[in-house]
Amino acid sequence: MRSRSDSFRTPEGVTLGVEHFGDASAPLVLLAGGTTMLSWPDALCEALARGGRHVVRYDLRDSGASTTVDPEAPAYTLRDLAADAAALARGLADRPAHLAGIGVGGMVAQVAALDHPDAFSALTLAGTRPVAPGPVDDDLPDHDKAAMERRFALPVPDWSDRAAVAEFAAARAGILGDDPAAARATAERVFDRTPGAEPAIQTANQMGTAFSRLDCTPRWRERLPELALPTLVVHGRHNRFFPVGNGEALAREISGARLLVLEQAATAIPDAAADEVAAAMLAL
């Protein structure tokens, strides 16, 4: 299925890199990226489009083709990222959108749905958790310690070397339980579509570190019961970065939420699960 890439400029002057699938007049499904928009697999975007949706995936600030300034000291907050999602949804459609976020994008999606309820009609949260980066609540499982030690022990690549960046992504994926070949291919695509390759590709690959420097106050977990829109929580059984207990907590605390555990998945949504996830999203 052919997609179309362009950009969107928010009222605050932030440029967001976006990619469209399907009929622009169809109901909008807005996919907030994790590291970049390519955190959402093509197979899932195409399945949603075949289901009669206008699918738009986009890069968060400081990743991919979106505005990149200084990820080491972001001058915006989590709530600014949430406002970006609402502005994009309103700018693309005249009716509320189904918002989905994966990884750190799932944190953005939670806050966006809470702060801008009129902009969204449904919510999908994939591989994420109900608190910001940093110390985790006692009842939530933290990152798998052994996996994190191995992940952060990997030698940092030359960020200007496409092959080295791809191999780094493959090695990291293997540690986290994801498919190294798929991660390598995605990293190559991220590299090829990222302007100002060296600093921007470093940001895209280290988005979790950059996100940890973001102002994520105040907490939003206690507000989750306020959500009144249909919600799907998708989580890989073998997710070592945000173990499945995080998804279970989200499903408990959001009224009426459905939990879909992907038994063969870790942090990424594998292509083999695309139809199952798309069907669950379309059913909301």
Q: What is the DSSP string of 45-94?
A: HHHHHHTT-EEEEEPPTTSTTS--S-TTS-SSBHHHHHHHHHHHHHHH-S
Q: Whats the size of the chain, residue-wise?
A: 284
**pLDDT for res 203:** 54
Per-residue model confidence as pLDDT tens digits over 32-87: 988 789 999 999 999 999 999 999 999 999 888 888 877 777 889 999 999 999 99
The pLDDT of residue 127 is 98
Q: Are strands 28-32 and 54-58 parallel, antiparallel or unpaired?
A: parallel
- Is there a contact between 6 and 91 (Cβ–Cβ < 8 Å)? no
Q: How many other C-beta atoms lie within 10 A of the C-beta of residue 121?
A: 20
What pLDDT does residue 218 have?
A: 94
Domains of the chain by residue range:
4-141+197-282
Q: Is the pLDDT of residue 105 over 90?
A: yes
pLDDT at 275: 98
DSSP 228: -
pLDDT in tens, 167-218: 999 999 999 999 999 999 999 998 888 766 555 555 555 555 567 778 999 9
Dig out the tokens for 34 from the structure.
């994790």
The predicted pLDDT at position 208 comes to 56
> Do residues 39 and 105 make contact, with C-beta atoms less than 8 angstroms apart?
yes
pLDDT digits (tens, 9 = 90+) for 216-274: 999 999 999 999 999 999 999 999 999 999 999 999 999 999 999 999 999 999 999 99
Q: Cα separation of 49 and 3, whole Å?
A: 10
Query: For residue 196, what pLDDT is reported?
Result: 60
Question: What is the percentage of the chain residues whose pLDDT exceeds 90?
Answer: 78
Q: Model confidence over 138-178: pLDDT tens digits?
A: 999 999 999 999 998 999 898 888 899 899 999 999 999 99
Q: What is the pLDDT of residue 222?
A: 97
> Which CATH superfamily is 4-141+197-282 part of?
Alpha/Beta hydrolase fold, catalytic domain (3.40.50.1820)
Helices (H), the chain: 42-50, 78-92, 104-115, 145-153, 162-176, 180-193, 197-205, 207-211, 245-253, 274-282
Residue 69 has a pLDDT of 79
